[in-house]
Homo-oligomer: A and B are copies of this chain.
Amino acid sequence: MLECVDNPERGRVYTIDFETSEFTALYAVTGQPIFAAISISYVPGEVCVEQMSLKRYLGSFRDEKVFYEGVVNRIVDDFVRACDPVTLDVTGDFTVRGGIETRVSVMYDREDDV
């Protein structure tokens, strides 16, 4: 669902960050709503992710049943498949449950991914 556009500066190493506090899904075990802030930071390769498609993509989790670790790793996988970035960091900051706040962070580097 993630769409891409040409990277306007392919020869240059630079960083694009997206941050949203409007992420919600359902918890895989209980079906209860979960809420998170999602941060995505990447160095683009040949293409950049188009921002409106990113919004729709993140919104598509609204009715999905997910685990905390699973959903952050899946965003990484989908993002890599869609735009093959040079590097990519994704962090999900999940709101307090049972008095505990949980953060899951994945750092991806294209060179390590063989």
Binding site for B on A (CB under 8 A): 7-9, 12-22, 24, 32-33, 35, 44, 48, 51-52, 54-55, 58-59, 62, 67-70, 72-73, 95-107
Nearest chain B residue, comparing its CB with the CB of A103: B17
Residues of B within 8 A of A8 (CB): 67, 69-70, 73
Task: Work out how many copies of this chain go into the complex.
Answer: 10
Residues of B within 8 A of A70 (CB): 8
Find out whether the CB atom of A51 lies under 8 angstroms from the CB atom of B98: yes
Complexed CA–CA distance, A9 and B20 (Å): 24
In addition to A15-B105, A20-B99, 20 A-B residue pairs with Cβ atoms within 8 Å of each other are A8-B73, A9-B73, A14-B73, A15-B106, A17-B103, A18-B101, A19-B100, A19-B102, A22-B33, A35-B99, A44-B69, A51-B97, A51-B98, A51-B102, A52-B98, A55-B99, A55-B100, A58-B100, A95-B96, A96-B99
